Amino acid sequence: MTHEQATFDAKTEIDFVIIGAGAAGGIIAKELSAAGFRIVVLEQGPYMKEQDFEHDELKYMRQRAITNDYKRQPNTFRATEKETAKLQPAIIYGRQVGGGTVHFTANYWRFHEIDFIERSRWGSIAGSGFADWPITYAELEPYYTKTEWDLGVSGLAGASPFDPPRSKPYPLPPLPIKSSGVLAERGAKKLGWHAFPAPMAIISQPYRGRSACLHCGFCEYFGCEAKAKSSTLATVIREAEKTGLCEIRPNSCVRRIEVNKAGLVTGVTYFDEGGREHFQSAKAVVLCANGAETPRLLFLSKSSLFPNGLANSSGKVGKYLMFNGHAQASRSDARVLRGRGNGYALRVLPDELRPSRPATGRAQVGSSIQSHAQGALHAHCARIGTHNFVAGGDKQHLARFACERRVGAARRAGHLQRPRGRHEDDAVLSGALQGTPGSGGAPKDMDPRVKKSDVRLSLAGNLPDG
């Protein structure tokens, strides 16, 4: 907790209760408290700070240290309403103050103008709820811009010929390119494609009192100990607390939204860390509990007035959940992917992002060039021969399980140390190249096929000539 944080009596009616302290909840808390409203934010997970985060791949990637635990909160899954739901891991979300913005990859995209009017453009799709948005890109654009500047997003406006219009550039230059990105740009140019720096919610320069990226490579699945990742934890939640009107209550699991006889919300009932039940009175409730927990809580709040759950007169609550589906092809090449560097997908090829009728199965798609950090877990798995996962979920999970067991045994035997600190075994970027946006230099151990001139041109947002 921080000394600025307010504390409200649970029996005192406050202005707003916000359920969930993630991407949406953090921003709403900041906006409402800055406007003078009294706010309580209930978050089911802990309140972790930067000093609490670790570079432990086994703990964070496999043991779910900062995401939902299926053992404590099991998911069920069925493909159709006629099937019997079975216990099965199905949803991954951040379970701490800051939510998914703490462990996410930090690619920060805008929708395109076509995304808001696809129903009008392509027509209906049988058996779906395919519909236009009730707002347009032009109406949403000022809020995209405000968010990018409030949180801190690094990018290069105008680098992609396919980007939608914007009222302001990014507040920060793009993150430095890695050797894999340079090779991707050279290949893209030969094909006539357009590789450009991905917009990242990771700051490339000091911004609003936060440190720039250290290029440790521990982004996806991990919290950022340097505050360089622009999570709501590192940004708007701290600003909300400083107003003196916002209380964050971690380890608080809401079980029901309460209403009176007139059907108006009166507050929420929740369990604290010790399992004790409390009621927090409020004039209004803002539900920001992600795509799975939000409908679940609405269903749990059903009553004689709302027999199908709150806000469900349409019968659509819980339907049309969209996942981040993708197809992937990968290659591991030590000559290209030496070192860690920053980010996960830093160069993007948007040339496939073209409108196509969704009914054909070829909805709008794009490509990203990704290079992964090879930390202790993955490196050791490769050495012991269990990292060459074959296609097929069962075999892949078995391979990972075998890998983790061997890693655990190796650690217990003292043969494998836990991942080291920020730069101890990282490829540190060399001296800055002057006069280029986001110039941070190139990795010292860059692949010999990559020319230094390529890096200079790439950092300037251009494609190399070589």
Q: Read off the pTM.
A: 0.77
Q: How confident is the model at residue 217 (pLDDT cuts 50, 70, 90)?
A: confident
Q: Does residue 29 form part of some domain? A: yes
Q: Does residue 204 form part of some domain? A: no
Lowest mean pLDDT among 42-56, 62-76, 234-248, 283-297: 62-76
What pLDDT digit, counting tens, does each position of 285-326 carry? 999 999 889 999 999 999 999 999 999 999 999 888 877 777
| HSE of 429, CA atoms in CB hemisphere, 13 A | 23
Phi and psi dihedrals of 226, rounded to 5? -100, 0
pLDDT of residue 25: 97
Q: Does residue 28 form part of some domain? A: yes
C-alpha span between 287 and 265 (Å, rounded): 12
The DSSP result for 155-176, as a single string, is --TTSSTTPPP-SS--SBPPPP
Give the residue numbers spanning the domain of 16: 1-79+87-104+231-321
pLDDT of residue 355: 56
The answer to whether residue 417 scores a pLDDT higher than 90 is no
The answer to whether residue 446 scores a pLDDT higher than 90 is no
Q: Does residue 3 form part of some domain? A: yes
Q: Does residue 30 form part of some domain? A: yes
Q: Of 256, 180, 178, 171, whose CA–CA distance to 206 is shortest?
A: 171
CATH number at residue 50: 3.50.50.60
Query: 422: Cβ–Cβ under 8 A, 6 or more apart, which residues?
Result: 214, 216, 225, 226
Q: Does residue 197 form part of some domain? A: no
Q: Does residue 456 form part of some domain? A: no
pLDDT of residue 80: 83
Provide the token pair at 38: 């009294």
159, 203 in Cβ contact below 8 A? no
pLDDT of residue 267: 96
What pLDDT digit, counting tens, does each position of 368-407 carry? 544 443 333 333 333 333 333 233 333 443 344 344 444 4
Q: Does residue 422 form part of some domain? A: no
Q: How many domains does the chain have?
A: 1
Tell me the average pLDDT of the chain.
77
pLDDT higher at 426 or 453 = 453
